[in-house]
Amino acid sequence: MTSETITAAAAGTWKLGDLTVNRIGLGAMRLPQNGEAFGDAAPSDRGRAIAVLRRAVELGVNHIDTAAFYFSALRSANELINRALAPYPDDLVIATKVWPGRDPSGKWWWATPEQLRGQVEENLRQLGRDHLDVVNLRIPPSRVTGSVTEHFGALAELREAGLIRHLGLSNATAAHLAEAQAIAPVVCVQNPYGLGLRPRDHVLPQACAERGIAFVPFFAIAGSGEEAGVSGVDSEEVLAVARAHGVSAARVRLAWTLGQGPNVLAIPGTGDPDHVADNIAAGALRLSADEMARLDFLHRAGG
C-alpha cells in the first residue's frame, strides 16, 4: 500500500463531544507563511496552501486546527481554509483558539474575558460560519499557575449562546483542566508534545485519557525543536525504525504519537502537498512493541 492510497481513516477515530474525527488531522499554522515563525517568514504560495488543504480533505482529514492569529503579510490561515474548502464537508471539524491575538501589524495582545466574543466572531467571519465546532482557550505562559475561570466562563457563555459547539484548552495543566471542567464540558486539551518533547504537566495525558478527553499534541513532528521546526537531523533510533519500515522519520514520529493512546489525536502541519500524504499515512504504520519501547526510551531521554 502506498502513501497515496492511505487515508486518514487508517488512524481510527475519536469523538470531540458529538463530533467524530479521524485521529490524524491537519494543523494550519504553517499555511500562511514559509517557515514557523510568525511575522518573520515570507508569505506562502497561495495556490500551494490551498492545494495542501484540498489534498488533506481528499485523503480523509476531517479535523483542521487553526486560529485567527495564524497570518503572514499576505495570507490568513482562516481565509485559506474558507477559500479552499467552503462550502465545507458535513463531517469537517474546524478547531480554533482564542485568548492570544495579533493586531494588523502582527503585534501580539491578550484578550480580556469581555474581548473573547470579538475573537470568536473574528474567526466566524474569516471562516464564513455561523458557529465554531471547537474553540480552545489558549492559556498564556503567565497563567501557568493562575486561574482560567473568568476566561473559560466567558467561552462557556458563548457556547450557551450557540456561537460555539464544544470547548477545549490549549497550553493547559491538569489543574486548569479540573478548573474548566467545573464550569463546562471540555472535549480536548491541546499541548506541545512529541517524541523527545515531554509534556510540561506529566499528569495531564493520563488525566485526559481517564476522563475520555482528547489529548491533541502539537509539535508531534518537530519534537524538541518546537516552533523552530524539525532540525533535519533525527536520532539513529528513529532512523533505524524508519528504515525498517521503508518510511520517513516524520511518519515514525507521528505513529509513535498516535500509539500513546486511543484518545491521542495528531495535527501535523505542513505547507507541502506531498508531505500531507506522508503524514496521513502514519495512521497505518503499526510499530512493534520493541520499536515502541526503544522510542519510549529515547523520549524519556529527551530525544
- Looking up residue 72, the CATH number of its domain turns out to be 3.20.20.100
Nearest to 230 by CA among 36, 29, 26: 36
Strand, helix or coil for residue 101: strand
- The confidence score (pLDDT) of residue 220 equals 86
- The confidence score (pLDDT) of residue 253 equals 95
Structural domain span for residue 117 = 3-300
Supply the residues annotated as catalytic: 70
SS percent in the chain: helix, strand, coil, step 5: 40, 20, 40
Burial category of 58 from C-beta neighbours within 10 Å (exposed 0-12, middle 13-18, buried 19 and up): exposed
CB 10 within 8 A of CB 284: yes
Q: Distance (Å, rounded) from C-alpha 224 to C-alpha 192?
A: 9
- The confidence score (pLDDT) of residue 38 equals 59
Q: Which helix (H) or strand (E) holds 65?
A: strand 63-65
- The confidence score (pLDDT) of residue 4 equals 47
Q: Distance (Å, rounded) from C-alpha 67 to C-alpha 27?
A: 10
| Backbone angle region of 233, left / alpha / beta, with phi > 0 → left and psi within -120 to 50 → alpha | beta
Q: Distance (Å, rounded) from C-alpha 204 to C-alpha 188?
A: 11
Nearest to 114 by CA among 132, 128, 99: 99
| Backbone angle region of 217, left / alpha / beta, with phi > 0 → left and psi within -120 to 50 → alpha | beta
- The confidence score (pLDDT) of residue 37 equals 56
The count of other CB atoms within 10 Å of the CB of residue 205 is 21
Query: Which residue type does 225 have?
Result: G
How many structural domains comprise the chain?
1
Digitized pLDDT (tens) for each residue of the chain, 303 residues in all: 444 479 999 999 999 999 999 999 999 999 999 866 555 668 889 999 999 999 999 999 999 999 999 999 999 999 999 999 999 999 999 999 999 999 988 999 999 999 999 999 999 999 999 999 999 999 999 998 999 999 999 999 999 999 999 999 999 999 999 999 999 999 999 999 999 888 888 899 999 999 999 999 998 886 544 444 444 568 899 999 999 999 999 999 999 999 999 999 999 999 999 999 999 999 999 999 999 999 999 998 875
pTM of the entire predicted model: 0.94
Strand, helix or coil for residue 257: helix
Q: 292: which 3 cell numbers? A: 515502541
Q: 261: which 3 cell numbers? A: 493512546
- The confidence score (pLDDT) of residue 199 equals 83
